[in-house]
Amino acid sequence: MDPSRGTFIVLDGTEGSGKSTQARMLHHRLAASLGEGNVLLVRDPGTTRIGEQVRALLLNPEHAEMNMRCEMLLYMAARAQMMTETILPALAHDKVVICDRFVSSTLAYQLHGDGLTAGDITAVANIAIHARWPDLTILLDMPARASMARVNREKDRIEQRPPEYHEQVRKNYLAQAERDPHRYRLINAARDVQEVHADVLAAAEARIHPSRPKR
């Protein structure tokens, strides 16, 4: 397999920022233009049988005693399975993979928890993902309090953390985008869903077809 082929796009951001909605919309639009079989939508953690079981463990509010190192390693374990089973084979066949969250989430949510550094997280991630980092990470940004107000269902274990935690998560996302502007695209998510989609689509198409003139 040649995992350098294909295009790997991640949508990420704080809770309620519209990641899943925008990922589905992008998948639908790209599948219409590139062909259904050429675009794959996955979610992190999850997608695989093992990954979905890890997801349920991670998000269950009953597991309040879980420490950050355990949390980080479980996320990476789910990723390792998804990369080997799903993402790398798709990229090797020159497909576009759209992922709802990825390592960028861990670098935002688990950073500094139990002393974890960005270097710690990146080192483990390189093993889990075969050092195949996304070609583009689209960050949907909005104030954390506003995005959390959009979560109108029973909150999972991560969502139940205090507002101050989620504000720091947002800052961690913004710091990632500032450090690596080539691989990150920051998009204002506090707008109409179609306006956000237009910007997400433009960013994705620019990375998939870099030779095409920008709109």
Q: In this predicted model, what pLDDT tens digit does every residue of 160-171 receive, in sequence order?
A: 999 999 999 999
Contact 101, 148 (CB under 8 A): no
- Quick count: other Cβ atoms within 10 Å of Cβ 74? 17
State the DSSP H helix or E strand holding residue 79, giving kind and residue range, or none if neither: helix 68-82
> What is the Cα–Cα distance from 131 to 141, expressed in whole angstroms?
26
Question: What would the mean pLDDT of 133-152 be, rounded to a whole number?
Answer: 94
Domains located in the chain, CATH noted? 7-208 (3.40.50.300)
Q: In this predicted model, what pLDDT tens digit does every residue of 85-107 receive, in sequence order?
A: 999 999 999 999 999 999 999 99
> What is the Cα–Cα distance from 169 to 161, expressed in whole angstroms?
11
